Structures are given as structure tokens and as C-alpha cells.
């Protein structure tokens, strides 16, 4: 199968300046995702989508392709993933004459992935004809059964009351398994993006990753945690 990894990496960022190029474990943040994709047994092309010249050059140094320049209007902070991937697919199919059957979305902000995870998640979608996508998920640190909103009268209102009258009173061992989307690995069929105008579609398969290994960097605190994780993992 034609399987392409697309790594979106715009130059701007609000939380951490030039986040995709910040140093982590001796290399730019984006390099981790590039190297992981290149190490996959199933991915045949690794493509970076960016508008930023420095990111382009560094991505090429680490072995990724940068066959197009992302339009500036698709690199603003309010732009969602869908138009970015629509643009990439349009280029690959119309200009490059390459039609991927599966798209692997690897965010630079998730610098830790086992190669086994990537290949297993891809294989999961390959073997499921009726699924639209695969998303990596993890168990939340705070269970949703113990989450509240505050109602108009100022009282705590349990979010999961539609599933249990007093969900917050259940013992830990009685809480049902629940998962959050950790942004580590996204596998999508191009038909989901093109025909359903969605990055996920309606039928999403889960790929479960241990919560203590799921890293997503959005703030300086997240970056500090990632640095500690890598120090403990690799002794650097």
C-alpha cells in the first residue's frame, strides 16, 4: 500500500516560540517525528507541511521530503488540521501523481512514540475495511465520572450523570474504562478527509497507549516534563 506520513509544522506558535524547532534531547522537536516515521516498516514517504523556510531546511536534513510550501493562510493559529491535509493531498495526487491509501498524521508536539505503535496503528486500519480512522488514546489521570460543571445556581453538576445518578461516589475499581485523545498517532484514510470532510470520520478505532508514555507539548511546563521523561528514559 502507498502509506504517507504527513507532519504538519508551522513556524508560528503562541505557547512556545518556534516550538517545532525547540531543542529536545539534542535535536529539534520535529526531528523526533521525522525519524520515527522513517523507521516505520510500513510508511513509504515522510512529508513535512510547512510555510517556514528554516523548518523546511531542517526537515530535509533529517530525511523528510518537503515537496511543497504550505500557503501562509493555512499556517495561521486558528487553522484546523483538515484544510492543511486537504492541501497536502491535493498536491500529492494532482501535482505529484501519488495517491496514498493511508495517511499517518504525526504531530511534532508528540516527540515520543515507539515505532511498534505506529506500525500497529497502521495495521489496525488496514485490516478494518469499514473504519474511517485510528486515534491513539490513553486512560485519563482524572476520571470523567468525577468531573463537574457548575450550574446556574452555583451547585456542582456531575458531567456523567446521564450514565450514573452519582458517578463521583463510585469506588475507583468500579469506574468504567474511559479514554482521552492524546494526539500521539492519527491514522486516516484519504477518503475520510476528501469525502467526509473530516480528519476522523464517524468510525474511529482506538489504539491504546499507556498514559505515562503519552507526551503532548503545548506549554513550557509540558516541555519541562518531556525533558525529564527523556532524561529518565535515555539518561541524557
Look at residue 235 in the predicted model and tell me its pLDDT. Answer: 65
Q: Do residue 14 and residue 114 come from a single domain?
A: yes
The pairing of strands 102-105 and 3-8 is: parallel
Same domain, 34 and 55: yes
Q: CA dist 141 to 163, 172, 175, 185, Å?
A: 20, 12, 13, 19
Beta-carbon contacts of 165 under 8 Å, excluding residues fewer than 6 positions away, are none
Q: Is 146 found in the same domain as 128?
A: no
Mean pLDDT, consecutive 10-residue segments, the chain of 236 residues?
A: 96 88 95 98 98 97 97 93 97 94 97 97 95 97 96 97 96 95 97 97 97 94 94 75
Are both 35 and 48 inside the same structural domain?
Answer: yes
Q: Which three cell numbers stand for residue 157?
A: 453538576
Q: Are residues 60 and 33 in the same domain?
A: yes
On the CB side of 225, CA atoms within 13 Å amount to 14
- Indicate if 107 and 44 belong to the same structural domain: yes
Are both 118 and 165 inside the same structural domain? Answer: no
Q: Say if residue 111 is in the same domain as residue 197.
A: yes
Answer yes or no: do 53 and 159 share one domain: no
Q: Which domain holds residue 208?
A: 3-136+180-234
Report the CATH number that the domain containing residue 33 is assigned in CATH.
3.90.550.10
Do 38 and 149 fall into the same domain?
Answer: no
Residues 150 and 128 in one domain: no
34 shares its domain with 144: no
Return the pLDDT at 19. Answer: 94
Q: How many domains does the chain have?
A: 2
**How many whole angstroms separate alpha carbon 161 and alpha carbon 134?**
28
Amino acid at each position: 500500500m502507498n502509506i504517507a506520513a504527513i507532519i504538519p509544522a508551522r513556524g508560528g506558535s503562541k505557547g512556545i516560540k518556534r516550538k517545532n524547532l525547540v531543542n529536545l534531547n539534542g535535536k529539534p522537536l520535529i526531528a523526533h517525528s521525522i525519524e520515527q516515521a522513517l523507521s516505520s516498516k510500513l510508511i513509504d514517504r515522510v512529508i513535512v507541511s510547512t510555510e517556514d523556510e528554516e523548518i523546511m531546511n531542517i526537515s530535509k536534513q533529517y530525511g523528510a521530503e518537503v515537496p511543497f510550501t504550505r500557503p501562509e493562510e493555512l499556517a495561521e493559529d486558528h487553522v484546523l488540521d483538515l484544510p492543511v491535509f486537504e492541501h497536502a493531498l491535493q498536491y500529492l495526487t494532482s501535482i505529484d501523481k501519488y495517491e496514498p491509501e493511508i495517511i499517518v498524521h504525526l504531530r511534532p508536539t508528540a516527540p515520543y512514540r515507539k515505532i511498534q505503535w505506529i506500525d500497529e496503528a497502521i495495521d489496525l486500519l488496514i485490516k478494518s475495511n469499514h473504519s474511517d480512522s485510528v486515534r491513539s488514546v490513553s486512560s485519563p489521570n482524572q476520571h470523567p465520572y468525577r468531573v463537574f460543571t457548575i450550574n446556574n445556581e452555583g451547585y456542582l453538576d456531575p458531567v456523567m450523570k446521564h450514565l450514573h445518578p452519582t458517578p463521583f461516589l463510585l469506588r475507583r475499581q468500579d469506574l468504567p474504562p474511559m479514554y482521552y485523545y492524546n494526539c500521539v498517532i492519527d491514522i486516516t484514510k484519504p477518503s475520510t478527509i476528501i469525502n467526509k470532510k473530516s480528519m476522523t470520520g464517524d468510525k474511529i478505532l482506538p489504539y491504546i497507549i499507556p498514559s505515562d508514555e503519552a507526551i503532548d507539548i503545548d506549554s513550557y511546563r509540558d516541555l519541562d516534563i518531556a525533558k525529564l521523561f527523556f532524561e529518565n528514559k535515555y539518561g541524557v
